[in-house]
Structure 1
């Protein structure tokens, strides 16, 4: 495979599949860097703007509402138009909004800025995963998407660490300035991805009836429902885990950010990588990738219970490490699983609708619901809810596996009869 950048029309073009994968992974790094940086800053924002836990949770909730709502039209557009242009647009929008988050004077201005970040980031996932599906063979999709999602975990992790450290020493505004700047460069880089235009002319027609047909696919519906429960779990934990260990285990914000960031960086990246590898091996043997997702979350459930109940710092950190590893198995296979289920020409739309439903009904309300439960009782009690949703979500992926196996057996029998 040629690793050199090619020159077309006197401009550098990023053309080979491997080049495109690494560029999109780098952009995904800053996508989640910008997204997650706000959560370790909750302690500082609470003081500066005199916020309740519910109001802090709204910063995550409103972001996800806008992100979910924008994902569907932008995902459908990605099945119609040049995807690199959509990617470049998204990067520049979220970077500008992130930078201006550091200039706000009140809670409502920050809420508005984070909403705009949600619009920019909604443009990215469907377009990027659709582009990768075109560039790599289907039996490598989970591995390719696991690499793509390594950027997510690394970016989100370093965002948490940087926010905790810089927030402590320089103030929360500096964090937004720093993480917003790289996106301006990445927007230019993504514009130079080479994509064959004839595959994405505007005259390509995606009829409503075709899109509705996705929701007649039982396994796709099961994946959506399971994803909603699992995304509620992850949204709850991501938004409140720093505050949780500060309150109940006497960590400073800086130390909590460093410990959590290190755990997620090591265990999360390992989980994503091996999850993608294992899922592709299962797929090559004729087994659904959903099986691996269900196993990961089932194993993680008792570990989450330990996190919520233990008073031991050592046991807390071990359980966080192991649960992060097993829950991270999800990220590589999920995109490939959706692409296995739906017609190929709807791959971006199917993922966009997945993002829409899992965020709108999953983690959109998670931060504020956990915050409200914390205000009513306490944060430790509130954490029992995402433990329950984690197990429920895993069971829906077990059902997905059963449906896909039955369908595969039916197809084999039909082939034999013919």
Structure 2
């Protein structure tokens, strides 16, 4: 009773301080969002210094691609198990450890003396960043009312693109003005400063005191029923959503990794200016994720099956725009088409997440989102830059980039199949939701 009274008192105390009650959740969001920016700045700064590393260490494009893809590969492999571990060990402690690891690993990139040392440091960056997205959004949503969760989740996800923009733009500038080593060092220092602030202001006790009833991460429903984890993989419609979502990230990942090199080689821009130019397109990718999600919500408010349609449309627009744009000569027309393609290149992210949420039981929805993250990384973020790097060694970078939009065809096939399987998938979910009542 004493423990319960103390817990109740702490919650009441937090809620009675009206100003702090409203401000603290936004402090949590700001710090978590800042660390997400640091996450992607540390990941994407490499793209800004590709041309310099290629010249300094005489690296092939496949070598450069492996330095980029190893991070996404680790994220894809470790997101699910590390998310489960964070739920048991403590989310705040886990986030702090993750951020320290990727920041220190980024510092190791700054002092690397060879390709092998850089690859090892980038491996550690990937380990540190693996579960930050899933655990970070769980922490944020836990202190906000459910009515604003969709908006916050969308803003949090788009933070990855914004962090990429900052990392590429600032990294390229620092590399030219000082050296590529200082590009990595600056990202590491920024991350460690944010870790110190997060550690000082966010604790498990404070999160518990400010937790909102019914928020993400609630342990269980009143009936205590938890759907089998196997249902994440036995519903064909969900599987098609995973596959389509991962494949649509392929070309978006290629743009994030290779646009600085594209502008350096074919527009004759110095690495800093190439990074700034590429950052504009990366910003379009992130903005497109937000806008396309909004359009999808408005278009499908009366019929959730229409989300599949919007995903197909976004893929087709990117396929056509990038397919034509990359075959034009350098100039304004090419840049306009590349901009349109970039805007819609990851537009399926919101619809795909909504499809997965609609088709999975509430008790394992977080695991479903983790599975989608794995698919996005293994099929898109890791595979895309690496495959294009290998092709670039044999065909040239431009020819390799011209082939990358063709992956949207496979994504469209997956989304069309998913749309056909969707009604049966909904029926499967309805039967699963009736299971607790039948057991009772």
- Under a length normalisation based on structure 2, what TM-score does the superposition of the two structures give? 0.81
Matched, 1:389 2:407: yes
CA distance in 1, matches of 2:61, 2:396: 11
2:78 to 33, 50, 70: 70
Would the alpha carbon gap of residues 351 and 169 (structure 1) be closer, same or farther in structure 2, given more than 3 Å must change? Answer: same
> Would the aligned equivalents of 1:57 and 1:368 in 2 still touch at CA under 8 Å?
yes
How far is 1:135 from its partner? 5.4
Deviations 1:47-80 (A, max 9, x none): 2222111111110122222222211211223454
Q: CA deviation at 1:364?
A: 2.2
What are structure 1's unaligned runs of at least 5 residues?
Answer: 413-418
Work out the CA distance in 1 between the residues paired with 2:297 and 2:247. Answer: 24
Which 10-residue stretch deviates more, 395-404 or 97-106?
395-404
Partner of 1:112: 120
* Change beyond 3 A, Cα 1:65–1:106: same
Between 1:81-90 and 1:111-120, the stretch displaced more is: 81-90
In the TM superposition, what whole-angstrom CA distance separates every residue of 1:206-254 from its partner, at most 9, and x where no partner exists?
9999222210122221111112322322222222222123222333322
The answer to whether the 8 Å contact 2:250/2:407 transfers is yes
Partner of 1:177: 185
* Equivalent of 1:317 in 329, 332, 335: 335
Residues 261-303 of structure 1: per-residue CA shift (max 9 Å, x gap): 12332x3343233223223334542424444333222211111
Name the Cα RMSD after superposition.
3.4
Aligned equivalents of 2:427 and 2:227: distance in 1?
28
Which deviates the most, 331-340 or 304-313?
331-340
Distance 1:160 1:46, change over 3 A: same
Q: How many residue pairs are counted as aligned between the two chains?
A: 402
Kept in 2, the 8 Å contact 1:296–1:326? The answer is yes
Contact 2:248 2:348 in 1 (8 A): no
| Aligned counterpart in structure 2 of residue 220 of structure 1, from 234, 238, 241 | 238
Taking the aligned partners of 2:53 and 2:251, their CA distance within structure 1 comes to 24
For 1:7-39, what per-residue CA distance to the aligned partner results, in whole angstroms no more than 9, with x for missing partners?
A: 99xxx9998655444433222222111111101
Contact 2:38/2:191, CA 8 A, preserved across alignment: yes
For residues 132-178 of structure 1, the C-alpha deviation after alignment (integer angstroms, 9 at most, x for no partner) is 55556777554332211232111101111112221122110000111
Gaps of at least 5 residues in structure 2 are 1-12, 212-216, 431-440
Taking the aligned partners of 2:423 and 2:25, their CA distance within structure 1 comes to 31
Q: 1:57 & 1:208 partners in 2: Cα distance?
A: 41
**1:163 paired residue among 145, 166, 171:** 171
What is residue 273 of structure 1 aligned with on the other side?
290
TM-score by length of 1: 0.84
1:291-350 CA-partner distances (Å, limit 9, x unpaired): 433322221111111232111321122122212222243344444443333222323322
Q: Give the 3 Å change call, closer, same or farther, for CA 25–219 of structure 1 in structure 2.
A: farther
Per the alignment, residue 151 of structure 1 pairs with 159
Alpha carbons of 1:319 and 1:212: their partners in 2 closer, same or farther (altered >3 Å)? same
Aligned-partner Cα distance in 2 for 1:402–1:139? 31
Q: Distance in 2 between matches of 1:122 and 1:186?
A: 18
Aligned with 1:353 (options 371, 381, 384): 371
After the TM superposition, which residues 265-304 of structure 1 pair with which residues of structure 2 at under 5 Å, given as runs? 265=283, 267-282=284-299, 284-288=301-305, 289-304=307-322
Residue equivalent to 1:326: 344
- Name the structure, 1 or 2, with higher relative contact order (CA <8 Å, separation 6+): 1
1:112/1:243 CA distance change after superposition, 3 Å: same
Structure index of larger Rg: 2
When residues 348 and 407 of structure 1 are mapped into structure 2, their CA distance, relative to the original with a 3 A threshold, is closer
1:195 partnered with 2:207: yes
Give the aligned partner of residue 54 of structure 1: 62
Q: What's the offset of the Cα at 1:389?
A: 0.6
One of 40, 56, 70 as aligned partner of 1:32: 40
